Protein backbone atom coordinates (compact mmCIF):
# COMPACT_ATOMS: atom_id res chain seq x y z
CA UNK A 1 0.00 0.00 0.00
CA UNK A 2 1.31 3.41 -1.07
CA UNK A 3 -0.24 6.64 0.07
CA UNK A 4 0.78 10.22 -0.75
CA UNK A 5 -0.61 12.98 1.44
CA UNK A 6 -0.11 16.57 0.22
CA UNK A 7 3.31 15.70 -1.11
CA UNK A 8 5.42 18.43 -2.68
CA UNK A 9 8.88 18.05 -4.09
CA UNK A 10 10.98 21.05 -5.06
CA UNK A 11 14.53 20.29 -6.15
CA UNK A 12 17.44 22.45 -5.01
CA UNK A 13 17.39 23.96 -8.49
CA UNK A 14 13.96 25.39 -7.78
CA UNK A 15 12.12 22.95 -10.07
CA UNK A 16 8.77 22.04 -8.57
CA UNK A 17 8.65 18.43 -9.80
CA UNK A 18 5.66 17.27 -7.72
CA UNK A 19 2.91 19.56 -6.50
CA UNK A 20 0.49 18.60 -3.77
CA UNK A 21 0.16 14.94 -4.76
CA UNK A 22 -2.62 12.98 -3.06
CA UNK A 23 -3.36 9.37 -3.95
CA UNK A 24 -3.56 5.94 -2.50
CA UNK A 25 -2.61 2.67 -4.20
CA UNK A 26 -4.08 -0.33 -2.41
CA UNK A 27 -2.37 -3.62 -1.78
CA UNK A 28 -2.66 -5.86 -4.84
CA UNK A 29 -3.55 -2.98 -7.15
CA UNK A 30 -2.03 -2.34 -10.62
CA UNK A 31 -1.54 1.36 -11.38
CA UNK A 32 -0.03 3.18 -14.33
CA UNK A 33 1.68 6.49 -13.82
CA UNK A 34 1.61 8.42 -17.07
CA UNK A 35 2.64 11.85 -18.26
CA UNK A 36 4.92 13.62 -20.72
CA UNK A 37 8.66 13.59 -20.28
CA UNK A 38 9.64 15.91 -17.44
CA UNK A 39 6.17 15.82 -15.89
CA UNK A 40 7.47 14.29 -12.62
CA UNK A 41 6.93 10.52 -12.95
CA UNK A 42 10.47 9.54 -12.00
CA UNK A 43 10.46 12.01 -9.13
CA UNK A 44 7.29 10.40 -7.80
CA UNK A 45 8.95 6.98 -7.99
CA UNK A 46 12.10 8.25 -6.31
CA UNK A 47 9.91 9.57 -3.52
CA UNK A 48 8.35 6.12 -3.07
CA UNK A 49 11.83 4.56 -2.96
CA UNK A 50 12.98 7.27 -0.59
CA UNK A 51 15.75 8.11 -2.96
CA UNK A 52 14.46 11.67 -2.72
CA UNK A 53 12.87 13.31 0.33
CA UNK A 54 9.57 15.18 -0.06
CA UNK A 55 9.81 18.92 0.57
CA UNK A 56 6.54 18.67 2.44
CA UNK A 57 3.71 16.22 3.03
CA UNK A 58 3.97 12.58 4.00
CA UNK A 59 4.37 9.25 2.21
CA UNK A 60 3.00 6.11 3.78
CA UNK A 61 4.28 2.72 2.64
CA UNK A 62 2.68 -0.46 3.97
CA UNK A 63 1.08 1.50 6.78
CA UNK A 64 4.27 3.24 7.81
CA UNK A 65 5.01 6.93 7.41
CA UNK A 66 8.44 6.99 5.77
CA UNK A 67 8.88 10.75 6.04
CA UNK A 68 10.97 10.55 9.18
CA UNK A 69 12.41 7.12 8.55
CA UNK A 70 16.02 6.99 9.70
CA UNK A 71 18.58 6.72 6.91
CA UNK A 72 19.83 3.37 8.19
CA UNK A 73 16.28 1.92 7.94
CA UNK A 74 15.92 2.82 4.25
CA UNK A 75 17.51 -0.46 3.03
CA UNK A 76 14.81 -2.39 4.89
CA UNK A 77 12.08 -0.24 3.33
CA UNK A 78 13.54 -0.99 -0.12
CA UNK A 79 13.45 -4.71 0.53
CA UNK A 80 9.67 -4.46 0.48
CA UNK A 81 9.79 -3.15 -3.11
CA UNK A 82 11.25 -4.58 -6.29
CA UNK A 83 12.50 -1.91 -8.68
CA UNK A 84 12.79 -2.06 -12.47
CA UNK A 85 14.28 0.66 -14.68
CA UNK A 86 14.25 1.54 -18.34
CA UNK A 87 17.98 0.76 -18.69
CA UNK A 88 17.74 -2.69 -16.97
CA UNK A 89 20.75 -1.97 -14.70
CA UNK A 90 22.24 -5.46 -14.79
CA UNK A 91 25.81 -6.23 -13.80
CA UNK A 92 27.65 -6.96 -17.06
CA UNK A 93 30.27 -9.27 -15.55
CA UNK A 94 27.76 -11.51 -13.81
CA UNK A 95 25.62 -14.20 -15.40
CA UNK A 96 21.82 -14.11 -15.44
CA UNK A 97 21.77 -16.44 -12.45
CA UNK A 98 24.36 -14.39 -10.56
CA UNK A 99 22.55 -11.13 -11.29
CA UNK A 100 19.43 -12.50 -9.65
CA UNK A 101 21.24 -14.29 -6.81
CA UNK A 102 23.10 -11.04 -6.12
CA UNK A 103 19.87 -9.48 -4.84
CA UNK A 104 19.55 -12.36 -2.40
CA UNK A 105 23.14 -12.15 -1.20
CA UNK A 106 22.49 -8.57 -0.33
CA UNK A 107 19.63 -9.39 1.98
CA UNK A 108 21.78 -12.16 3.48
CA UNK A 109 19.64 -15.04 2.30
CA UNK A 110 20.93 -18.55 3.01
CA UNK A 111 22.69 -20.37 0.15
CA UNK A 112 20.01 -23.04 0.32
CA UNK A 113 17.26 -20.48 -0.07
CA UNK A 114 19.14 -18.87 -2.95
CA UNK A 115 19.54 -22.19 -4.77
CA UNK A 116 15.82 -22.81 -4.53
CA UNK A 117 14.49 -19.31 -5.18
CA UNK A 118 16.61 -18.16 -8.15
CA UNK A 119 15.61 -20.96 -10.57
CA UNK A 120 12.00 -20.45 -9.54
CA UNK A 121 11.86 -16.75 -10.52
CA UNK A 122 13.93 -17.41 -13.64
CA UNK A 123 11.32 -19.92 -14.76
CA UNK A 124 8.58 -17.42 -13.86
CA UNK A 125 10.07 -14.89 -16.31
CA UNK A 126 10.82 -17.64 -18.82
CA UNK A 127 14.61 -17.54 -18.67
CA UNK A 128 15.47 -20.94 -17.16
CA UNK A 129 17.42 -21.85 -20.29
CA UNK A 130 19.60 -18.74 -20.23
CA UNK A 131 20.72 -18.68 -16.62
CA UNK A 132 24.40 -19.10 -17.52
CA UNK A 133 24.45 -16.33 -20.11
CA UNK A 134 25.81 -12.83 -19.64
CA UNK A 135 23.62 -9.72 -20.13
CA UNK A 136 25.35 -8.73 -23.39
CA UNK A 137 24.34 -12.10 -24.87
CA UNK A 138 20.64 -11.34 -24.31
CA UNK A 139 18.08 -9.24 -26.16
CA UNK A 140 16.67 -6.12 -24.52
CA UNK A 141 13.46 -7.92 -23.57
CA UNK A 142 15.41 -10.76 -22.01
CA UNK A 143 17.57 -8.34 -20.07
CA UNK A 144 14.47 -6.66 -18.72
CA UNK A 145 13.14 -10.07 -17.69
CA UNK A 146 16.33 -10.65 -15.73
CA UNK A 147 15.82 -7.28 -14.05
CA UNK A 148 12.25 -8.30 -13.29
CA UNK A 149 13.42 -11.63 -11.86
CA UNK A 150 15.89 -9.76 -9.67
CA UNK A 151 13.13 -7.40 -8.50
CA UNK A 152 10.92 -10.37 -7.65
CA UNK A 153 13.39 -12.73 -6.09
CA UNK A 154 13.10 -11.42 -2.53
CA UNK A 155 9.29 -11.58 -2.62
CA UNK A 156 8.61 -7.85 -2.32
CA UNK A 157 5.07 -6.71 -1.61
CA UNK A 158 5.25 -4.27 -4.55
CA UNK A 159 7.00 -3.84 -7.88
CA UNK A 160 7.89 -0.29 -8.91
CA UNK A 161 8.83 0.10 -12.58
CA UNK A 162 10.06 3.34 -14.16
CA UNK A 163 9.44 3.13 -17.93
CA UNK A 164 10.31 -0.56 -18.06
CA UNK A 165 9.46 -0.79 -21.75
CA UNK A 166 11.08 2.47 -22.81
CA UNK A 167 13.96 0.71 -24.57
CA UNK A 168 11.95 -2.15 -26.06
CA UNK A 169 10.12 -2.70 -29.31
CA UNK A 170 6.29 -2.88 -29.04
CA UNK A 171 6.06 -6.70 -29.06
CA UNK A 172 8.68 -7.11 -26.39
CA UNK A 173 7.08 -4.28 -24.44
CA UNK A 174 3.84 -6.25 -24.43
CA UNK A 175 5.62 -9.34 -23.12
CA UNK A 176 7.03 -7.36 -20.22
CA UNK A 177 3.68 -5.72 -19.45
CA UNK A 178 1.94 -9.09 -19.54
CA UNK A 179 4.56 -10.44 -17.17
CA UNK A 180 3.93 -7.51 -14.82
CA UNK A 181 0.23 -8.27 -15.06
CA UNK A 182 0.88 -11.93 -14.17
CA UNK A 183 2.92 -10.84 -11.19
CA UNK A 184 0.09 -8.55 -10.14
CA UNK A 185 -2.40 -11.41 -10.43
CA UNK A 186 -0.27 -13.33 -7.94
CA UNK A 187 -0.98 -10.59 -5.40
CA UNK A 188 1.92 -8.17 -5.79
CA UNK A 189 1.15 -4.45 -6.01
CA UNK A 190 2.48 -3.05 -9.31
CA UNK A 191 3.18 0.59 -10.14
CA UNK A 192 4.39 1.34 -13.68
CA UNK A 193 5.48 4.75 -14.96
CA UNK A 194 5.25 4.66 -18.72
CA UNK A 195 4.91 6.40 -22.06
CA UNK A 196 3.40 3.40 -23.86
CA UNK A 197 0.01 4.83 -24.79
CA UNK A 198 -1.52 1.86 -26.60
CA UNK A 199 -0.53 -0.59 -23.88
CA UNK A 200 -2.08 1.63 -21.21
CA UNK A 201 -5.19 1.99 -23.34
CA UNK A 202 -5.59 -1.74 -23.85
CA UNK A 203 -4.79 -2.96 -20.36
CA UNK A 204 -7.68 -1.10 -18.75
CA UNK A 205 -5.99 -0.50 -15.37
CA UNK A 206 -6.00 2.43 -13.01
CA UNK A 207 -4.18 5.38 -14.60
CA UNK A 208 -2.71 8.25 -12.60
CA UNK A 209 -1.92 11.12 -14.96
CA UNK A 210 0.65 13.72 -14.01
CA UNK A 211 1.25 17.00 -15.83
CA UNK A 212 3.88 19.54 -14.80
CA UNK A 213 3.98 17.98 -11.35
CA UNK A 214 0.21 18.05 -10.83
CA UNK A 215 -1.91 14.91 -10.72
CA UNK A 216 -4.62 15.89 -13.18
CA UNK A 217 -6.52 12.63 -13.52
CA UNK A 218 -6.77 9.40 -11.57
CA UNK A 219 -9.20 6.81 -12.89
CA UNK A 220 -9.53 3.41 -14.43
CA UNK A 221 -9.23 3.28 -18.21
CA UNK A 222 -7.08 4.58 -20.99
CA UNK A 223 -4.61 7.30 -21.79
CA UNK A 224 -6.11 10.76 -21.76
CA UNK A 225 -5.81 12.55 -25.06
CA UNK A 226 -5.24 15.92 -23.40
CA UNK A 227 -1.62 15.06 -22.49
CA UNK B 1 25.31 -18.59 6.14
CA UNK B 2 27.56 -15.96 7.69
CA UNK B 3 30.56 -17.82 6.35
CA UNK B 4 29.14 -17.49 2.89
CA UNK B 5 28.77 -13.74 3.23
CA UNK B 6 32.30 -13.32 4.51
CA UNK B 7 33.45 -15.39 1.54
CA UNK B 8 31.50 -13.08 -0.75
CA UNK B 9 33.06 -9.97 0.80
CA UNK B 10 36.56 -11.40 0.52
CA UNK B 11 36.04 -12.52 -3.06
CA UNK B 12 34.80 -9.06 -4.00
CA UNK B 13 37.64 -7.46 -2.05
CA UNK B 14 40.25 -9.50 -3.92
CA UNK B 15 38.54 -8.79 -7.21
CA UNK B 16 38.72 -5.07 -6.49
CA UNK B 17 42.38 -5.33 -5.58
CA UNK B 18 43.24 -7.11 -8.80
CA UNK B 19 41.12 -4.92 -11.04
CA UNK B 20 43.04 -1.68 -10.54
CA UNK B 21 46.54 -3.06 -10.75
CA UNK B 22 48.19 0.29 -11.33
CA UNK B 23 46.69 2.18 -8.46
CA UNK B 24 46.88 -0.85 -6.19
CA UNK B 25 50.63 -0.97 -6.89
CA UNK B 26 50.91 2.74 -6.19
CA UNK B 27 49.21 2.26 -2.82
CA UNK B 28 51.41 -0.72 -2.07
CA UNK B 29 54.57 1.22 -2.79
CA UNK B 30 53.53 4.18 -0.68
CA UNK B 31 52.48 1.96 2.20
CA UNK B 32 55.70 -0.07 2.02
CA UNK B 33 57.66 3.16 2.03
CA UNK B 34 55.77 4.36 5.11
CA UNK B 35 56.37 1.10 6.88
CA UNK B 36 60.05 0.91 5.93
CA UNK B 37 60.81 4.41 7.16
CA UNK B 38 58.89 3.69 10.30
CA UNK B 39 60.69 0.37 10.68
CA UNK B 40 64.12 1.99 10.42
CA UNK B 41 63.40 4.51 13.15
CA UNK B 42 61.61 1.97 15.26
CA UNK B 43 64.56 -0.42 15.17
CA UNK B 44 67.13 2.30 15.88
CA UNK B 45 65.02 3.34 18.86
CA UNK B 46 64.71 -0.22 20.13
CA UNK B 47 68.45 -0.72 19.84
CA UNK B 48 69.28 2.47 21.68
CA UNK B 49 66.99 1.39 24.49
CA UNK B 50 68.75 -1.92 24.49
CA UNK B 51 72.21 -0.34 24.56
CA UNK B 52 71.15 1.88 27.42
CA UNK B 53 70.06 -1.15 29.36
CA UNK B 54 73.34 -2.88 28.67
CA UNK B 55 75.31 0.14 29.84
CA UNK B 56 73.15 0.51 32.87
CA UNK B 57 73.43 -3.09 33.93
CA UNK B 58 77.17 -3.12 33.28
CA UNK B 59 77.72 0.07 35.22
CA UNK B 60 75.23 1.30 37.73
CA UNK B 61 75.45 4.19 40.13
CA UNK B 62 78.14 3.61 42.73
CA UNK B 63 77.51 5.14 46.14
CA UNK B 64 80.68 5.43 48.23
CA UNK B 65 80.26 5.73 51.97
CA UNK B 66 82.69 7.74 54.14
CA UNK B 67 85.25 5.47 55.80
CA UNK B 68 84.46 6.79 59.30
CA UNK B 69 80.89 5.48 59.17
CA UNK B 70 80.36 2.40 61.35
CA UNK B 71 79.49 -0.99 59.85
CA UNK B 72 76.03 -0.96 61.45
CA UNK B 73 75.27 2.39 59.93
CA UNK B 74 76.49 1.19 56.52
CA UNK B 75 74.06 -1.73 56.79
CA UNK B 76 71.32 0.73 57.76
CA UNK B 77 72.11 2.85 54.70
CA UNK B 78 71.68 -0.27 52.54
CA UNK B 79 68.23 -0.82 54.07
CA UNK B 80 67.29 2.83 53.53
CA UNK B 81 68.44 2.73 49.93
CA UNK B 82 66.09 -0.17 49.23
CA UNK B 83 63.18 2.16 50.01
CA UNK B 84 63.97 4.48 47.10
CA UNK B 85 61.64 3.88 44.18
CA UNK B 86 63.20 3.42 40.78
CA UNK B 87 66.05 1.25 42.10
CA UNK B 88 66.31 -2.18 40.57
CA UNK B 89 69.17 -3.95 42.43
CA UNK B 90 71.56 -2.99 45.20
CA UNK B 91 74.92 -4.74 45.59
CA UNK B 92 77.06 -4.15 48.64
CA UNK B 93 80.82 -3.76 48.11
CA UNK B 94 82.60 -3.90 51.50
CA UNK B 95 85.92 -2.26 52.22
CA UNK B 96 87.56 -5.67 51.89
CA UNK B 97 85.87 -6.28 48.53
CA UNK B 98 87.05 -2.89 47.34
CA UNK B 99 90.62 -3.71 48.41
CA UNK B 100 90.46 -7.08 46.66
CA UNK B 101 89.18 -5.42 43.50
CA UNK B 102 92.14 -3.06 43.63
CA UNK B 103 94.57 -5.93 44.18
CA UNK B 104 93.08 -7.61 41.15
CA UNK B 105 93.38 -4.45 39.11
CA UNK B 106 97.03 -3.83 40.02
CA UNK B 107 98.25 -7.42 40.03
CA UNK B 108 101.64 -6.41 38.67
CA UNK B 109 102.19 -3.53 41.10
CA UNK B 110 101.41 -5.12 44.46
CA UNK B 111 103.94 -2.75 45.98
CA UNK B 112 101.47 0.09 45.62
CA UNK B 113 99.09 -1.65 47.95
CA UNK B 114 101.40 -2.71 50.76
CA UNK B 115 100.26 -1.74 54.19
CA UNK B 116 96.69 -1.29 53.08
CA UNK B 117 95.67 -4.64 54.59
CA UNK B 118 96.08 -3.15 58.09
CA UNK B 119 94.86 0.31 57.18
CA UNK B 120 92.26 -0.13 54.47
CA UNK B 121 91.61 3.31 52.97
CA UNK B 122 89.10 2.11 50.40
CA UNK B 123 85.53 3.07 51.19
CA UNK B 124 82.61 0.63 51.28
CA UNK B 125 80.05 1.27 48.57
CA UNK B 126 76.70 0.25 47.15
CA UNK B 127 76.29 -0.42 43.43
CA UNK B 128 72.79 0.54 42.45
CA UNK B 129 71.08 -0.31 39.17
CA UNK B 130 67.95 1.44 38.00
CA UNK B 131 64.66 0.23 36.65
CA UNK B 132 64.44 3.23 34.31
CA UNK B 133 67.38 5.23 33.09
CA UNK B 134 65.22 8.31 32.67
CA UNK B 135 64.89 8.39 36.46
CA UNK B 136 68.66 8.50 36.98
CA UNK B 137 69.02 12.07 38.20
CA UNK B 138 65.94 11.82 40.42
CA UNK B 139 67.24 8.62 42.04
CA UNK B 140 70.66 10.20 42.51
CA UNK B 141 69.09 13.13 44.34
CA UNK B 142 67.19 10.73 46.58
CA UNK B 143 70.35 8.77 47.32
CA UNK B 144 72.17 11.98 48.29
CA UNK B 145 69.25 12.78 50.53
CA UNK B 146 69.22 9.39 52.25
CA UNK B 147 72.97 9.06 52.72
CA UNK B 148 73.44 12.69 53.66
CA UNK B 149 76.91 13.72 54.86
CA UNK B 150 77.97 10.11 55.19
CA UNK B 151 78.28 10.11 51.39
CA UNK B 152 81.85 10.19 50.19
CA UNK B 153 81.03 10.39 46.52
CA UNK B 154 78.64 9.13 43.90
CA UNK B 155 79.68 8.03 40.44
CA UNK B 156 77.59 7.15 37.46
CA UNK B 157 77.74 6.87 33.68
CA UNK B 158 75.53 9.91 33.55
CA UNK B 159 76.99 11.59 30.48
CA UNK B 160 76.79 8.52 28.27
CA UNK B 161 73.36 7.68 29.55
CA UNK B 162 71.88 11.13 29.25
CA UNK B 163 73.30 11.53 25.75
CA UNK B 164 71.63 8.25 24.82
CA UNK B 165 68.38 9.35 26.41
CA UNK B 166 68.48 12.55 24.41
CA UNK B 167 69.11 10.60 21.21
CA UNK B 168 66.37 8.10 22.03
CA UNK B 169 63.86 10.86 22.76
CA UNK B 170 64.89 12.72 19.63
CA UNK B 171 64.36 9.62 17.57
CA UNK B 172 60.99 9.06 19.14
CA UNK B 173 59.86 12.57 18.22
CA UNK B 174 61.25 12.33 14.69
CA UNK B 175 59.61 8.91 14.27
CA UNK B 176 56.30 10.30 15.47
CA UNK B 177 56.34 13.30 13.14
CA UNK B 178 57.51 11.34 10.10
CA UNK B 179 55.06 8.56 10.81
CA UNK B 180 52.11 10.93 11.18
CA UNK B 181 53.07 12.59 7.90
CA UNK B 182 53.51 9.29 6.06
CA UNK B 183 50.29 7.87 7.46
CA UNK B 184 48.36 10.86 6.13
CA UNK B 185 49.95 10.42 2.70
CA UNK B 186 49.20 6.68 2.75
CA UNK B 187 45.59 7.25 3.73
CA UNK B 188 45.13 9.76 0.93
CA UNK B 189 46.73 7.49 -1.69
CA UNK B 190 44.89 4.37 -0.60
CA UNK B 191 41.58 6.21 -0.44
CA UNK B 192 42.19 7.42 -3.99
CA UNK B 193 42.91 3.88 -5.10
CA UNK B 194 39.72 2.62 -3.57
CA UNK B 195 37.83 5.60 -4.94
CA UNK B 196 38.76 4.29 -8.39
CA UNK B 197 37.22 0.90 -7.65
CA UNK B 198 34.22 2.51 -6.03
CA UNK B 199 33.81 4.70 -9.09
CA UNK B 200 34.24 1.75 -11.44
CA UNK B 201 31.58 -0.08 -9.46
CA UNK B 202 29.19 2.80 -8.81
CA UNK B 203 26.57 1.12 -10.98
CA UNK B 204 26.82 -2.00 -8.88
CA UNK B 205 26.64 0.07 -5.72
CA UNK B 206 23.50 1.85 -6.90
CA UNK B 207 21.91 -1.49 -7.80
CA UNK B 208 22.81 -2.78 -4.36
CA UNK B 209 21.15 0.24 -2.81
CA UNK B 210 17.95 -0.29 -4.81
CA UNK B 211 17.80 -3.92 -3.79
CA UNK B 212 18.08 -2.86 -0.15
CA UNK B 213 21.70 -3.46 0.76
CA UNK B 214 22.77 -1.79 3.99
CA UNK B 215 25.68 0.62 3.87
CA UNK B 216 27.87 -1.70 5.86
CA UNK B 217 27.20 -4.52 3.39
CA UNK B 218 28.22 -2.25 0.52
CA UNK B 219 31.26 -1.00 2.39
CA UNK B 220 32.78 -4.34 3.35
CA UNK B 221 34.32 -5.40 0.03
CA UNK B 222 36.04 -2.02 -0.22
CA UNK B 223 37.27 -2.16 3.36
CA UNK B 224 38.61 -5.62 2.63
CA UNK B 225 40.31 -4.22 -0.45
CA UNK B 226 42.02 -1.69 1.81
CA UNK B 227 42.93 -4.37 4.34
CA UNK B 228 44.36 -6.64 1.64
CA UNK B 229 46.59 -3.84 0.34
CA UNK B 230 47.62 -3.06 3.92
CA UNK B 231 48.47 -6.65 4.75
CA UNK B 232 50.45 -7.21 1.54
CA UNK B 233 52.39 -4.01 2.21
CA UNK B 234 52.98 -5.16 5.79
CA UNK B 235 54.33 -8.57 4.78
CA UNK B 236 56.54 -7.12 2.04
CA UNK B 237 57.90 -4.53 4.45
CA UNK B 238 58.71 -7.12 7.09
CA UNK B 239 60.72 -9.14 4.58
CA UNK B 240 62.60 -6.11 3.29
CA UNK B 241 63.27 -4.78 6.78
CA UNK B 242 64.49 -8.16 8.00
CA UNK B 243 66.99 -8.53 5.17
CA UNK B 244 68.29 -4.98 5.42
CA UNK B 245 68.50 -5.13 9.18
CA UNK B 246 70.50 -8.33 9.23
CA UNK B 247 73.02 -6.97 6.74
CA UNK B 248 73.44 -3.61 8.46
CA UNK B 249 73.51 -4.87 12.03
CA UNK B 250 76.26 -7.35 11.17
CA UNK B 251 78.29 -4.53 9.67
CA UNK B 252 77.77 -2.38 12.75
CA UNK B 253 78.67 -5.10 15.22
CA UNK B 254 81.76 -5.96 13.18
CA UNK B 255 82.95 -2.34 13.17
CA UNK B 256 85.97 -1.73 15.49
CA UNK B 257 84.33 1.00 17.60
CA UNK B 258 81.28 -1.01 18.51
CA UNK B 259 83.10 -4.28 19.06
CA UNK B 260 85.58 -2.53 21.39
CA UNK B 261 82.63 -1.23 23.43
CA UNK B 262 81.39 -4.77 23.77
CA UNK B 263 77.85 -3.77 22.82
CA UNK B 264 75.48 -6.24 21.19
CA UNK B 265 72.59 -5.23 18.94
CA UNK B 266 69.15 -6.80 19.06
CA UNK B 267 68.58 -9.61 16.61
CA UNK B 268 65.69 -9.12 14.20
CA UNK B 269 63.98 -12.06 15.85
CA UNK B 270 63.83 -10.16 19.13
CA UNK B 271 61.88 -7.35 17.47
CA UNK B 272 59.90 -9.54 15.07
CA UNK B 273 56.70 -9.88 17.10
CA UNK B 274 56.49 -6.20 17.83
CA UNK B 275 57.19 -5.24 14.23
CA UNK B 276 54.62 -7.69 12.90
CA UNK B 277 51.98 -6.30 15.24
CA UNK B 278 52.85 -2.70 14.45
CA UNK B 279 52.93 -3.31 10.70
CA UNK B 280 49.65 -5.19 10.61
CA UNK B 281 47.98 -2.53 12.73
CA UNK B 282 49.37 0.16 10.46
CA UNK B 283 48.35 -1.71 7.30
CA UNK B 284 44.88 -2.62 8.45
CA UNK B 285 44.30 0.78 10.04
CA UNK B 286 45.39 2.75 7.00
CA UNK B 287 43.35 0.40 4.79
CA UNK B 288 40.17 0.83 6.81
CA UNK B 289 40.46 4.59 7.19
CA UNK B 290 41.37 5.05 3.53
CA UNK B 291 38.48 2.98 2.29
CA UNK B 292 35.97 4.59 4.64
CA UNK B 293 36.95 8.03 3.39
CA UNK B 294 36.62 6.94 -0.22
CA UNK B 295 33.14 5.49 0.33
CA UNK B 296 31.48 8.48 1.95
CA UNK B 297 30.23 10.17 -1.20
CA UNK B 298 28.82 7.03 -2.80
CA UNK B 299 26.65 5.86 0.03
CA UNK B 300 24.23 8.76 -0.23
CA UNK B 301 21.77 7.22 -2.75
N1 LIG C 1 17.85 15.60 -9.38
C2 LIG C 1 17.18 16.62 -9.94
N3 LIG C 1 17.54 17.89 -9.67
C4 LIG C 1 16.87 18.93 -10.19
N5 LIG C 1 15.82 18.81 -11.01
C6 LIG C 1 15.39 17.56 -11.30
C7 LIG C 1 16.05 16.42 -10.79
N8 LIG C 1 15.42 15.31 -11.25
C9 LIG C 1 14.41 15.76 -12.02
N10 LIG C 1 14.38 17.10 -12.06
C11 LIG C 1 13.41 17.94 -12.76
O12 LIG C 1 12.14 17.63 -12.25
C13 LIG C 1 11.18 17.57 -13.31
C14 LIG C 1 10.54 16.21 -13.34
O15 LIG C 1 11.48 15.25 -13.76
P16 LIG C 1 11.20 13.69 -13.76
O17 LIG C 1 10.59 13.34 -12.45
O18 LIG C 1 12.45 13.01 -14.14
O19 LIG C 1 10.13 13.57 -14.92
P20 LIG C 1 9.72 12.30 -15.81
O21 LIG C 1 10.25 11.06 -15.15
O22 LIG C 1 8.23 12.35 -15.84
O23 LIG C 1 10.31 12.54 -17.15
C24 LIG C 1 11.94 17.92 -14.58
O25 LIG C 1 11.76 19.30 -14.85
C26 LIG C 1 13.35 17.64 -14.24
O27 LIG C 1 14.21 18.48 -14.97
MG1 LIG D 1 11.52 9.56 -15.94
pLDDT, tens digit, for every residue of B199-255? 877 888 888 889 899 988 888 888 888 888 888 989 999 999 889 888 888 888 787
Which chain A residues are Cβ-neighbours of B209 within 8 angstroms? 75, 78
Cβ atoms of A85 and A37 closer than 8 Å: no
Is the C-beta atom of A40 inside 6 A of ligand 1?
A: yes
Domain boundary (B156, B189, B207) is at B156
Q: Mutual orientation of helices B2-19 and B21-58 as an angle, nearest 10°?
A: 100
Could you tell me if the ipTM is greater than 0.90? no
Any idea what DSSP says for residue B299? Answer: G
Chain B residue at shortest CA distance from A77: B212
Given pLDDT bands bounded at 50, 70 and 90, which one contains residue B59? low
| Co-location of B115 and B241 in the same domain | no
Min CA distance, B56 vs chain A (Å)?
A: 59
For residue B69, the domain's CATH number is 3.30.70.3040
Q: Is B31 exposed, middle or buried (0-12, 13-18, 19+ CB in 10 A)?
A: buried
Range of the structural domain that residue B283 is part of:
2-55+171-295
Q: What is the mean pLDDT of residues A22-38?
A: 95
Would residue B301 count as lying in a domain?
Answer: no
Instruction: Kindly report the CATH number that applies to the domain delimited by A2-80+156-220.
Output: 3.40.50.300
Min CA distance, A225 vs chain B (Å)?
A: 34
| Co-location of B47 and B179 in the same domain | yes
> Given ligand 1 and candidates A17, A52, A193, A211, which is best to mutate, with the most ligand atoms within 8 Å of its CB?
A17
| Co-location of B270 and B125 in the same domain | no
Q: Which of A86-100, A160-174, B279-293 has the lowest mean pLDDT?
A: B279-293
| Co-location of B43 and B135 in the same domain | no
Would residue B86 count as lying in a domain?
Answer: yes
Percent of chain B exceeding pLDDT 90 equals: 3
Residue boundaries of the structural domains of chain A: 2-80+156-220
| Co-location of B185 and B96 in the same domain | no
Would residue B165 count as lying in a domain?
Answer: no
Min CA distance, A50 vs chain B (Å)?
A: 9
Question: Is A111 touching B (CB cutoff 8 A)?
Answer: yes
Chain A residue at shortest CA distance from B15: A93
pTM above 0.90, yes or no: no
Question: Is A201 touching B (CB cutoff 8 A)?
Answer: no
Question: Diameter of chain A by CA atoms?
Answer: 52
| Co-location of B290 and B186 in the same domain | yes
Given pLDDT bands bounded at 50, 70 and 90, which one contains residue B269? confident
Question: Is B213 touching A (CB cutoff 8 A)?
Answer: yes
Any idea what DSSP says for residue A195? Answer: -
| Co-location of B151 and B74 in the same domain | yes
Counting the structural domains of chain B, the total is 2
Would residue B176 count as lying in a domain?
Answer: yes
Alpha carbon distance B110, B200 (integer Å) = 88
Q: What is the mean pLDDT of chain B?
A: 81
Q: Do B210 and A72 touch (CB under 8 A)?
A: no
Q: Is B163 exposed, middle or buried (0-12, 13-18, 19+ CB in 10 A)?
A: exposed
| Co-location of B210 and B233 in the same domain | yes
Would residue B164 count as lying in a domain?
Answer: no
User: What is the tens place of the pLDDT at every residue in A94-130?
Assistant: 999 999 998 998 888 888 999 999 999 999 999 999 9
Which chain A residues are Cβ-neighbours of B5 within 8 angstroms? 105, 108
Which chain B residues are Cβ-neighbours of A106 within 8 angstroms? 208, 211-213, 217
**Distance from the CA of A209 to the center of ligand 2, in angstroms?**
14
**Distance from the CA of A17 to the center of ligand 1, in angstroms?**
6
Amino acid sequence: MIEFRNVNKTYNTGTEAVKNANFRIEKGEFAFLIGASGSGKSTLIKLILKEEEPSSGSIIINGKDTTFLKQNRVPYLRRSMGVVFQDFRLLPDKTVYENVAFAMYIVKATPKHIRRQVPMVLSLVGLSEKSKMYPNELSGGEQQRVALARALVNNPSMIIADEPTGNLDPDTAWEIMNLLNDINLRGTTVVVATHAKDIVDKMNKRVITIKDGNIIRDEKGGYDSEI
Amino acid sequence: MRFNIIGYFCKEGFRNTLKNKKSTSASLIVMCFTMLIFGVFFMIGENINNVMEQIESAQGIQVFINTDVSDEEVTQIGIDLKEISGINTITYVSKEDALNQMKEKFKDRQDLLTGLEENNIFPASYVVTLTDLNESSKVQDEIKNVVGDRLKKLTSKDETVSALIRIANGIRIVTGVILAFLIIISVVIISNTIKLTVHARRKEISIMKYVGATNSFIRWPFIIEGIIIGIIAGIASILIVAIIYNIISQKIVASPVISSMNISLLSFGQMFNLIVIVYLLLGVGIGIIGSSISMRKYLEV
